[in-house]
Amino acid sequence: MQRRISFVGAAFLLYSSVLLLKEILASGIQVLQLGSWPAPYGITFVADILSGTMVVITGLIGLASVTYSLQTIDRERQAFGYYPVTLLLLFGINGAFLTGDIFNLYVWFEVLLISSFVLLSMGRSRSQIAGTVPYVVMNLLGSMLFLIAVGLLYGNTGSLNFAHLSLKLSDPVLAAVAQPISLLLLGAFGLKAAIFPLFFWLPASYPAPPVAVSALFAGLLTKVGVYALIRTFTLLFPLPLGEPNQLLISISGLTMITGVLGAVAQNEFRRVLSFHIVSQIGYMTMGLALNTRLGIAASFFYIVHHIIVKTNLFFVSGVVQLSGGSFRLQQLGGTYRLSPFLSLLFLVSAFSLAGLPPLSGFWGKFLLAQAGLESGQFPIVVISLVVGLLTTFSMTKIWNEVFWKNAPNSARINPLNRTQQLYLLLPITVLALITVVIGLFTDPFSSIALRAADELIGKQAYVKLVLQNTGGANP
């Protein structure tokens, strides 16, 4: 019953989120004042193109993960509430994307973090507990920094509503307090997004739980931190358009380099992928740091691409482990002969992650490089291209070790049965096809990304829609 309810619930989430995004694209930003309490006094939810798209992606990945879980999650974890906690995690993620209030953003962070703590530690293996400890400690530290920043914001402005704060913080009198608060939020959201130097917890934690959980975390959790960075630094603390954020550019470059070097040094499938999460976060923050229309649009495009591709690569790693008995590259082999179709699906996602044409990753990196060149930020463009080459190298290493070479004599090959092929390969195939479609038909997706960037840059429409009929709250 839990499995059926969870599958149906995830499917309805995807369906309703698509309807929401369709409404946003047709009619503009959607605002809900919960209980009809006017902003900035009540609880506000806002759905623009950025948040609406993130909710759609959450629904897609949630449904894919639940489908994958039907064949990979054991009865013991089911008995301890795996499926309800997974839905609670999706609930928290969607709340974080849709909230129009910075304190409620903190609350939604706590909802998704509590759910993730349970999913990460649900099991009896020592490696899971070892992976849970740094995750819990560092995310609690990030929550503490976030709450301090929220307190300082409220103490200096008397408001927590994003739109109202945007107006308040535009006052030159508050410029002196705005900068330290923005640095606190950069630290809090940067820790949750795993940017340099706050990333070390992620490669230690994400390989620990079952693959369905790792894939859900890899696809969505760090992107909530990136989303929060984009929202706050375009709405609350914007620099003049075209003026790059040099601090964030430097952090982005270091995040790319350290992540990809860590991936190159690994010899375990999920640890390679985990370090690549860190590396790819640098691309997402790069576009925000460039602070141009094209840069912000490129970040939006890259986030969508990466969520799909990274989730898929973790799914592939789980199928490989199920059939080959290990995640260690040296103990695997012969997958191409055992399953040519799975090998093809891996190549699609791996090449997309590396940025090879005509897949979605190529266009994401192309837009970022174009934005960087237009801004005159040549060093970060060079770093992004070099990191792309190193990503190709590490993906090639996985291909050679896992798929191309013969299986070691000690390896135990367990071919998938028909039920496993259906539930495991179906979500992988769908996500791979989406990657190909985005790459081949880029114009509609890039135009949506540019519209999202226009909404973020022209924040006046967001502020006006949220604060209309406020009963005089708009100063």
Instruction: Output the CA torsion 25→29→32→37 (10° steps).
Output: -170
Q: Do residues 117 and 132 touch, judged by C-beta distance below 8 A?
A: yes
Give the model's pLDDT for residue 470.
53
Confidence of residue 469 (pLDDT cuts 50, 70, 90): low
In 3D space, the residue among 285, 290, 311, 314 whose CA is nearest the CA of residue 300 turns out to be 285
Give the model's pLDDT for residue 475.
40
369 located within any domain: yes
Number of domains in the chain: 1
188 located within any domain: no
303 located within any domain: yes
293 located within any domain: yes
Domain of 436 in residue numbering reads as: 241-440
Give the mean pLDDT of 58-85: 93
Give the model's pLDDT for residue 220.
93
For residue range 281-312, list pLDDT tens digits in order.
999 999 999 999 999 999 999 999 999 999 99
Average pLDDT, the chain: 91
Q: Do residues 311 and 65 touch, judged by C-beta distance below 8 A?
A: yes
151 located within any domain: no
Give the model's pLDDT for residue 335.
85
Confidence of residue 324 (pLDDT cuts 50, 70, 90): confident
For residue range 258-284, list pLDDT tens digits in order.
999 999 999 899 999 999 999 999 999
Give the model's pLDDT for residue 417.
81
Give the model's pLDDT for residue 125.
74
Is the model's pLDDT at 472 over the cut of 70? no
Alpha helices in 217-339 (DSSP H): 222-235, 246-264, 269-290, 293-324, 335-338
Confidence of residue 422 (pLDDT cuts 50, 70, 90): confident
453 located within any domain: no
Is the model's pLDDT at 471 over the cut of 80? no
Give the contacts of 422 (CB within 8 A, at least 6 positions apart). none
Give percent above pLDDT 90 in the chain.
72
For residue range 166-179, list pLDDT tens digits in order.
999 988 888 888 98
Give the mean pLDDT of 312-337: 88
In 3D space, the residue among 69, 212, 81, 191 whose CA is nearest the CA of residue 135 turns out to be 191
Give the model's pLDDT for residue 9.
95
294 located within any domain: yes
Give the model's pLDDT for residue 362.
94
Is the model's pLDDT at 66 over the cut of 70? yes
Give the mean pLDDT of 368-379: 94
Q: Do residues 82 and 73 touch, judged by C-beta distance below 8 A?
A: yes
Give the model's pLDDT for residue 37.
87
Q: At 162, is the secondary structure helix, strand, or coil? A: helix
Q: How far apart are CA 48 and CA 52, in angstroms?
A: 6
Q: At 198, is the secondary structure helix, strand, or coil? A: coil
Is the model's pLDDT at 182 over the cut of 90? yes
- According to the 3-state scheme, what is the secondary structure of 402-463? HHHCCCCCCCCCCCCCHHHHHHHHHHHHHHHHHHHHHHHCHHHHHHHHHHHHHHHHCCHHHH
Q: How far apart are CA 39 and CA 168, in angstroms?
A: 14
Is the model's pLDDT at 142 over the cut of 50? yes
Q: How far apart are CA 121 and CA 349, in angstroms?
A: 28
Is the model's pLDDT at 256 over the cut of 90? yes
Give the mean pLDDT of 84-104: 95
CA separation, residue 205 to residues 91, 136, 141, 214 (Å):
22, 9, 16, 9
Q: Which of 151-155, 251-255, 327-331, 359-363 has the lowest average pLDDT?
A: 327-331
Give the contacts of 342 (CB within 8 A, at least 6 positions apart). 316, 319, 320, 335, 425, 428
CA separation, residue 318 to residues 73, 315, 335, 454 (Å):
12, 5, 13, 39
Give the mean pLDDT of 70-76: 89
Q: Which of 389-393, 405-409, 457-461 has the lowest average pLDDT?
A: 405-409
Is the model's pLDDT at 415 over the cut of 80? no
Give the mean pLDDT of 448-473: 84
Confidence of residue 474 (pLDDT cuts 50, 70, 90): very low
- The residue whose two tokens read 């608060």 is 181
Q: How far apart are CA 161 and CA 457, in angstroms?
A: 18
For residue range 35-54, list pLDDT tens digits in order.
888 888 889 999 999 999 99
- Alpha carbon of residue 148 to chain centroid: 24
328 located within any domain: yes
